[in-house]
Amino acid sequence: MERSFKKEVQALRLGRGETFRGEGILAVTKALLQSGVSYVGGYQGAPVSHLLDVLVDAEDIMGDLGVHLETCTNEASAAAMLAASINYPLRGAVTWKSIVGTNVAADALSNLSSPGVIGGALIIIGEDYGEGASVIQERSYAYAMKSSIWLLDPRPDLPSIVRAVEKGFELSEASHAPVMLELRIRACHVTGEFAAKDNRPGAYSGLNRLAGPPRFDYGKLSHPPVTFVQERLKIEERMPAARKFIRDEKLNEFIAGDLDDIGIVAMGGLTNSVLRTLSRLELADLFGQSRVPLYVLNCVYPLVPEEVREFCAEKRAVLVVEEGHPDYIEQAINVELRRADLQTRVIGKGPLPQAGEYTSEVLLKGIAAFLSEAKPRGLDVEAIDARARAILAQEPAAIAAVGELPPRPPTFCTGCPERPVFSAIKLAEREIGPVHISADIGCHSFASFAPFSLGNSILGYGMSLASAAAVGPNMKKRPIAIMGDGGFWHNGVITGVASNLFNKGDGVLLVMQNGYTSATGQQFMPSSLSNRDGTPGGMDIEKTLRSLGVKWLRTIRSYSVATMTKTLKEALNSTQHGLKVIIADGECQLARQRRVRAEDAEKLKRGRRVVRTRFGVDDEICTGDHSCIRLSGCPSLTVKPSLDPLRTDPVATVIESCVGCGLCGEVAHAAVLCPSFYRAEVVRNANAWDRALHAFRQTVIGWLGPREARA
């Protein structure tokens, strides 16, 4: 995996009387162990990728408590794990990235929430919303509402997050419903401390196994006719039980303030931002005391009608700070107030935007506008407005001081094995013209940025081949579907390959076999060379495809641009009907470099020979055409001024970060560009042969020098 947490996870052993210090995700893991969890699992994805990494690194600690860990092949399999809590008093937690992961898990979630649970079932979702998000912008709230899964959104500080985990299990058991706990990116990475408790083993676990299954109970199945009963149970029993628990345990918070004819209802996860905004307006202090009363929803679904009424009664207006669309909470509060015949004005979307992250600037404008509109008694709203305008006026000055920043679109790592495949597609397209590209989720989606600008649609993880199904039959040229090995195992093998073969389809599938789910931090997957415990992986994409019935199949080293270009042209032009699969094989360079650098450092320490390959461009030969840059897109390949006074164009050059993958040379060769590229080997701790060879070369160069001069 990308980052090791081996050192940090030792804090998971802390017990009562000790203080835990660390990151939000580690705090979640500690809270799971303090809660007596029996099983954990999940599928990686930002912003909770490292929760799974932490769980893997803490496997020994969890093993001492008998906790089972499953690194699932997708979110659906993680959600299905929670079935263990339907019949048994087993607490379990799973994790994934939302909204996309929740979409994948949706079927299992519906079938889990219908019969409900007796053991606490917690789903920790990384709510990837707002600036920096890597997926479509939708909220997980809709899933909570439609499936009657309660949704916790704790304040982003460690004590609140830990309490949410612990109370989440209790809430789940008290109401017999699964609970989701959403963490935005900042909550995952926030650092702080909390008073630790002792870890405790689950009621049953790997150390204390259940004797056997319970008596057959049809009511535990999500199957008609009991599904009709289960629907009623959700509304008539589980929801009231959940609301009672939330109220009794004070999961939501009330912060009193002297401006009590108005108030703010905030999602727990946004509370720190709201308090910071009030503090900038001199209406709150750094310790969370506020002049504006706040109702903090650490549980955003279900709302507790009594609490809503109590907070809003006697107030002329409340502002609902609810990020994203639709405005579920704002609508629900409006309905509740109308039912109670309370005339409090509910303001939300309007001063605050309908869509997008509620950054500090957005909140500053929105809260200032709300105060101007609501005009709370005892507050000089004009002074507040002037203060907000003064703060906002600092922004243009700050921008001017920093100057225009260059755009930095994400791109492949230096030496990435996936980049050459897109160079090959570009070269193939030179001859056969543009083709439809069904792109997918993964590092290869960086090809949608310059210089490749390749990709016509992205429909989800592992969905590329399926999303080309209706394109191919309607287009003169075959489409190319691009899928990573992570996407292949996530669901591409079924939704794409099996479906294509079943329908006797056509088209070209390019599988990027780099050995890891790289974009999420290099976690292992079924075809990785080793499992998480270091034992051999054992599953093989090529064998899997052949066993399914793929006849046209080639495995090509991804850096072999000429061979890849030729194979692509063959696949695209073939008169043979049927799916054509090309496996582009090359280890993720980031993972490789991490491994190789550590190995080289060890060799150097022992005084052993280490060779590093570098590529370079001969200034005198480079014509300044820069096709190599346009075709490879390598960030180590750039330009510098020409030393030749007769040539004004800058020449290509290779900078220090080059990892010697050879792509630039391959592209120059495959595209018949120019012979400017050379390969060099930097040898450290040279042996006798290296020294003799070097001496010989120097001698020959010495001979050639005078001859050249003579000529």
Applying CB under 6 A, which residues contact ligand SF4? 412-416, 418, 443, 514, 518-519, 588-590, 615, 632, 634, 636-637, 654, 658-664
The Cα 539–Cα 488 span in angstroms is 12
Helix (H/G/I), strand (E/B), else coil: 55? helix
Name the residue nearer to ligand SF4 (CB basis): 205 or 518: 518
CA distance linking residue 352 with residue 346, whole number of Å: 12
Q: Where are the alpha helices (DSSP H) in 324-480?
A: 328-339, 360-374, 381-402, 419-432, 464-467
Of the candidates 509, 656, 662, the residue with the CA atom closest to the CA atom of residue 589: 662
CB of 442 to ligand SF4, least distance (A): 8
Closer residue to ligand SF4 in complex, CB, 479/486 = 486
Q: Is 536 left (phi over 0), alpha (psi -120 to 50) or beta?
A: beta
CA atoms within 13 A on the CB side of 581: 31
User: CB–CB of 483/511 below 8 Å?
Assistant: yes
- 235 vs 117: CA distance, rounded Å: 15
The CB-of-615 to ligand SF4 minimum distance in angstroms stands at 4
Residues 303, 153: Cα–Cα separation, whole Å = 12
CA-to-CA distance for 85 and 100, rounded, in angstroms?
24
Residue 488 Cβ vs ligand SF4, minimum distance, rounded to whole Å: 14
CB 639 to ligand SF4: min, Å: 13
Q: Shortest gap between Cβ of 1 and ligand SF4 (angstroms)?
A: 12
CB of 271 or CB of 411, closer to ligand SF4: 411
In the complex, minimum distance from the CB of residue 689 to ligand SF4, in angstroms, rounded to a whole number: 25
List phi, psi (to 5°) of 300. Answer: -90, -15
State the minimum distance, in angstroms, from the CB of residue 655 to ligand SF4: 8
Nearer to ligand SF4, 111 or 513 (CB): 513
Of 371 and 421, CB closest to ligand SF4: 421
Residue 451, classed as helix, strand or coil, is coil
Q: Cβ distance 4 to 58 under 8 Å?
A: no
Q: Radius of gyration of the chain from Cα atoms?
A: 30
The smaller minimum CB distance to ligand SF4, of residues 160 and 589, is found at 589
Reduced to 3 states, what is the DSSP secondary structure of residue 292?
coil
Question: Is the CB of 233 or the CB of 637 nearer to ligand SF4?
Answer: 637
Instruction: At 181, list the tokens.
Output: 């706990």
Q: By the 8 A CB rule, do 576 and 552 touch?
A: yes
Minimum CB distance to ligand SF4 smaller for 85 or for 523: 523
Closest separation in Å from C-beta 659 to ligand SF4 = 5
Whichever of 111 and 589 has its CB closer to ligand SF4, that residue is 589
Terminal CA-to-CA distance of the chain, rounded, Å? 58
Question: In 3D, which of 26, 42, 33 has the Cα closest to residue 104?
Answer: 42
Distances (CA, A) of 186 to 25, 279, 369: 10, 19, 26
- Identify the CA nearest to 628 among candidates 618, 564, 656: 618
Smallest distance, ligand SF4 to C-beta of residue 434, A: 24
- Both tokens of 60, joined, read 């020994």
Minimum separation from the CB atom of position 660 to ligand SF4 (A): 5
Of the pair 324, 521, the CB lying nearest ligand SF4 is at 521
Using the minimum distance from each CB to ligand SF4, give the nearer residue, 47 or 515: 515
Q: What is the DSSP string of 334-345?
A: HHHHHHTT---E
